[in-house]
Amino acid sequence: MMRPSIALATALLAVLSACASSSHQKVPMPVESSAVRADSTRIYVGRRDQVAGSWRNVRVFDNDREVGVLHEGEYLCWDRPAKQGVGRFIYEGLGFDQDAVEGFCELPAMPGGTVFLGITVERDTRHPTVVRVEEPEGRAALAKRKPAATSK
């Protein structure tokens, strides 16, 4: 018979493993070395370096279209029409009794351009804050991360 402390530890490990999965992208990822079309804007999104909440996923939407799920150490990248839009970011709840928390940001129109966004999860509110970062900082962050796997 399994001791209660071992059973509890096993159950907790299973829950934590289920909550912290790897990233995946549901929309096509452009070839990064390719030029951005004049009628498109390329968007890169990654989690900024932080410890708080890093083991929980952030679900990313471009308007109403789900782009994918983002975990630490990875990034999402997609091309979208070069018109203004809204990014929605859902940080998964921390426990069985806690709801997910949403954050929003503008997806700017930059015909033929690239936008880099960094997500920070606020420690006290669990609110995902999304900020635009300049290209040098964005490129440096990408170099430390890997692209999310593309799923069908």
145 three-class SS:
coil
| Model-wide pTM > 0.85 | no
List, for residues 47-100, the tens digit of each pLDDT value: 887 544 445 788 999 999 999 999 888 999 999 999 999 999 988 755 555 567
Q: What architecture (CATH level 2) is domain 21-150? A: Sandwich (2.60)
Mean residue pLDDT of the chain comes to 81
> According to the model, what pLDDT value does residue 92 have?
76
Q: Are 128 and 119 in contact (CB under 8 A)?
A: yes
In the chain, domain spans: 21-150
136 three-class SS:
helix
List, for residues 107-140, the tens digit of each pLDDT value: 999 999 999 999 987 777 777 789 999 999 999 9
> According to the model, what pLDDT value does residue 138 have?
94
Report the greatest alpha carbon distance in the chain. 66
d(Cα 87, Cα 89) in Å, to the nearest integer? 7
Contacts of 93 (CB under 8 A, 6+ apart): 99, 100, 101, 126
138 three-class SS:
helix
Please tell me the number of Cα atoms within 13 Å of 105 on its side-chain side.
Answer: 22
d(Cα 9, Cα 13) in Å, to the nearest integer? 6
Q: Residue 15 above 50 pLDDT?
A: no
